[in-house]
């Protein structure tokens, strides 16, 4: 199974490397009462000689955390709610599980109700809305979770990366060693981008690799802006 460096994983999920590092390594911050605020790592990692690497399950967890971050909820305030998710659903890697999508909103809503008007409860409420008398995730969380394909055992098996907008770019641990590929054409992004930089024009790229023109243009736009 593929392993990603912290920098690679942060790039794929489209969050700052410093943010992703706190998700993997945790953090310790000073506070006014001189007792530091400590948060443990929340993304699954594996030890390596040169530090840590992120397996695909960790990448899927980070995808869910990125959705929470996009919702404007500080991770330190949502940590107790995430622990409630693990406890209630009995799943260690709940952020990479279909159970998050099917049952997570209800658990977070109940957590918020049990905590009253605390900052943690208010943060949990920001992630959940009531629609047709059902508790569901807000639009941002929902849009991210819909980008995850789950296997028959309920675990994430494929992530459609949101950073490329309308282009379907996939990370699948069983294809191309887990590197981002075009959903249609199944060619690695790095292969197509290298050919473009070498001077191959758009029409030739779409013909050679079978990548839809709009998807290709979206990906090239993202990489051009990054550059």
Q: How far is CA 91 from the centre of its chain?
A: 18
The CATH code belonging to domain 161-227 is 1.10.10.10
The pLDDT, as a whole number, for residue 37 is: 67
The whole-angstrom separation of Cα 172 and Cα 180 is: 8
Going by pLDDT thresholds of 50, 70 and 90, the confidence category of residue 226 is: low
DSSP assignment of the chain: --EE-HHHHHHHHTS-HHHHHHHHH-EEE--TTSPPEEE---S--EEETTEEEEEHHHHHHHHHHHHHHHTT--HHHHHHHHHHHHHHHT-TTGGGBHHHHHHHHHHHHHHHHHHTTSHHHHHHHHTEEEETTEEEE-HHHHHHHTTEEE-TTSBEEEEE-GGGTTS-EEE-TTSGGG--EETTT--BHHHHHHHHHTT--HHHHHHHH---HHHHHHHHHHHHHH-
**pLDDT tens sequence across 43-74:** 999 987 767 799 999 999 999 999 999 999 98
| pLDDT tens string 4-37 | 999 999 999 999 999 999 999 887 777 676 677 6
Look at residue 192 in the predicted model and tell me its pLDDT. Answer: 94
Q: Tell me: pLDDT of 144 over 70.
A: yes
Q: Return mean pLDDT, the chain.
A: 91
- pLDDT tops 60 at residue 132: yes
- 220 Ramachandran zone, left/alpha/beta (phi>0; psi -120 to 50): alpha
Q: What integer pLDDT is reported at residue 38 of this predicted model?
A: 74
């Amino acid at each position: 199974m593929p392993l990603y460096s912290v920098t690679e994983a942060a790039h794929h999920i489209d969050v700052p490397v410093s943010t992703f590092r706190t998700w993997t390594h945790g953090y310790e911050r000073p506070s006014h009462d001189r007792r530091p605020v400590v948060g443990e790592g929340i993304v699954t990692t594996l030890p390596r000689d040169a530090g840590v690497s992120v397996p695909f399950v960790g990448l899927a967890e980070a995808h869910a955390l990125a959705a929470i971050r996009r919702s404007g909820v500080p991770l330190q305030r949502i940590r107790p709610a995430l622990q409630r998710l693990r406890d209630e659903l009995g799943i260690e890697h709940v952020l990479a599980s279909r159970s998050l999508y099917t049952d997570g909103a209800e658990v977070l809503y109940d957590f918020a109700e049990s905590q009253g008007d605390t900052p943690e409860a208010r943060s949990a409420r920001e992630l959940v809305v009531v629609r047709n008398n059902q508790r569901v995730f807000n639009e941002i969380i929902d849009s991210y979770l819909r980008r995850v394909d789950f296997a028959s055992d309920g675990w994430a098996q494929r992530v459609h990366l949101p950073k490329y907008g309308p282009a379907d770019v996939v990370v699948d641990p069983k294809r191309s060693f887990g590197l981002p590929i075009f959903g249609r054409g199944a060619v690695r992004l790095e292969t197509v981008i290298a050919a473009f930089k070498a001077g191959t024009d758009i029409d030739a790229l779409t013909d050679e690799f079978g990548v839809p023109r709009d998807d290709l243009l979206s990906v090239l736009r993202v990489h051009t802006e990054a550059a």
